[in-house]
Homo-oligomer: A and B are copies of this chain.
Amino acid sequence: MDLKTVDAGLLQSRYRLTKQRAAVLRALGDGGHLSAETILEKVRAELPTVSLGTIYRTLDILRAIGLVQVFSFGGSAARYEASLDKHHHLLCSTCRALENVQADGVGEIAAQIAAAKGFSDIDYGLTIVGRCESCGRKPGKNGAS
């Protein structure tokens, strides 16, 4: 994640690039799909006094600017990640592992549907849920129980 871009985006919205916000971005840059709680831990490694409230507020701002994407899979905490490239999600229903994937062609389909319905300014996301290779081997519960 390029801090300059971030700064520009923030300033443009009259937000300031504080050390807390930079730390949140750094935490997200590290990798994957993090929960607010996990981000808090990471950020506290640098700034021990940060509060969860600040994490949420920061994530909300970053999302508004479009730098962060949020995913909520019912049932538990939302997961946040930096908006790098456009991608989709492959979630293992058993171990909850989450992987990014590309899905060519979906964008056009989504745009077409949205246009037909009069929607504008759209975003779209494809989520595939199933059993990953390793969970597929284990005894686990099958689809039809």
Residues of chain A whose beta carbon lies under 8 Å from any beta carbon of chain B: 13, 64, 70-75, 78, 88, 90, 92, 99, 101-106, 109-110, 113-114, 117-133, 136, 140, 142-143, 145
Q: Which DSSP category, helix, strand, loop or mixed, fits chain A's interface?
A: mixed
| Docked pose: A102 CA to B112 CA in angstroms | 11
Could you write out 16 A-B pairs with CB less than 8 Å apart? A90-B113, A99-B117, A101-B113, A101-B117, A103-B109, A103-B113, A104-B109, A110-B128, A114-B130, A118-B133, A119-B131, A119-B136, A120-B143, A121-B131, A124-B126, A125-B126
Residues A114 and B90 in contact, CB atoms below 8 Å apart: yes
User: Residue of B at shortest CB range from A70?
Assistant: B74
